[in-house]
Structures are given as C-alpha cells and as structure tokens.
Amino acid sequence: MTVPAPLTGRRALVTGSGHGIGAAIAIGLAQAGADVVVHYGHSAEKAEQTRQQVEATGVRTTVLAADVTDTEQVNGLVAQSVEFLGGLDIVVCNAGHLVGREAVETMTDEHYQAVMEVNVGATFRTVRAAIPHLKQSDHGRVVTMASLAAHNGGGPGSAVYAAAKAAIRGLSKGLAKELAPSGITVNALAPGFIGDTPFHNTFSSPEAQAKNIAGIPLGRAGTVEEVASAVTWLCSDGAGFVNGSTIDIDGGAWFR
C-alpha cells in the first residue's frame, strides 16, 4: 500500500526561496506533497532553478517576485499565491538578510532601518497579509526564521541583525497566542552555522567560517536540508500541538 506524502494537498508560500535555505525548504515541502509558491526578491534565474526542482516532485508550483519591505508588494504576493494555489495552509517567512556588517557606533539610520525592515518587517507584513487566508484553512501553519544570533548577539557587526532576529522570535510567540484560537500554529527556527549558503559565503571569510565550525559541539556545519526537514515536520499533522516554540538547529552551539 502506498502511503501518501504527509503534506499532500497542502498549499504553501515560502518567502526568500530562490536560493539557499529557502530553496531547500520549498523543495522539502514539495517532496512532502505540498503545492508551493516560490518567492524571490532579486535573482529570477535562481528562483527559476528552484521552481524546476519543485516541479520535478510532481506538485503544482509557480514563481512570484516581490519586495518584502513594501506592503503593497507583499499584499500582492499573498493574493497571487492564494489565487494560484486556491487557498493557503502554510506560510514560511524565510526572507531576510544581514545587509552588511556594521558596528553600531558608525551605523547610519538607513542601515539600521534596512536590516529591521528586511527581517522583522518582512515577517510582519507577510503574516499579516496571510492571516485571513490561513483562518480559512483547517491546517494553518506559520514558520518564521530567527537565528542563533537572536540568542548570542551574532558575530562582528551584526548587533542589529541579532536584534531583528530576536524581534522575530518575540513576534512569533505573540502570534502563536493570537492565532491559536483559529487553529493556526506559529513557530520559529533558529539556525546556527549552515554551510554553503549565500549568507556565510558573502559575509564571512573562510577563516571565520572555520572558526565558527570549530565551536560547534557536533564539529560540522549544518545543511540546508536539515533546516528544511524541521520546517516540513512543523507543517505536518504530527507537530499540531507545537506552538510558540523556537527550535534551535545549531549542532549544540547554544544551550539555554
């Protein structure tokens, strides 16, 4: 007897899924049977590659572009996703960015605002637009993306990024309480050092990456697939009683 994939028939939007962790999440949800909207902000070519990998699993998929710092565009992204999917069951707010390493002492207001908007602002806008549609689902799931930085303050020049990710963690807990009466769960992930991603390859030298890995008890970097697996589980029926949690995916780098 063939066992159906755990998310068959579910409809998902994954922001920032053109590459890296987001792409792995979109593919992982598709492998679990969900129809997936792939979203990107900049690289259409990479997003198309993700769409092709999602499509290869046999689910319905499309690619949509939007600036997650713009309310009108985020509202349009959610509306187009609902139109394509016929509804919305799962929203993964993966879009985010360090923007650049900058000490607070020399940081401009513009840099501060950019970091906050592309991280916590983007999460807020996406969930706000999605709530009416998730309330119509019998399987509402929201997964947000915090970070190890939310726990330990991050690396050099990332204090405001750490603050934004901590805000996402707090926002997720508040949303979990607010949306629970509608049967919607909200949980956050806090990845640590995930190897071979645009984030670390752009903002961390090979030496810094090696030092980071050396401090992980498991002695290795995490993989994008391991983050995706956690998302798939949180979106499954088996995680239906998990709500308001932050799941650390860091190889033991942080113990509370």
Residues marked active site are found at 161
- Annotate the chain with three-state secondary structure: CCCCCCCCCCEEEECCCCCHHHHHHHHHHHHCCCEEEEEECCCHHHHHHHHHHHHCCCCCEEEEECCCCCHHHHHHHHHHHHHHHCCCCEEEECCCCCCCCCCHHHCCHHHHHHHHHHHHHHHHHHHHHHHHHHCCCCCCEEEEECCCHHHHCCCCCCHHHHHHHHHHHHHHHHHHHHHHHHCCEEEEEEECCECCCHHHHHHCCHHHHHHHHHCCCCCCCECHHHHHHHHHHHCCHHHCCCCCCEEEECCCCCCC
Nearest to 166 by CA among 127, 124, 125, 119: 119
d(CA 247, CA 137): 24
Nearest to 19 by CA among 250, 171, 161, 200: 200
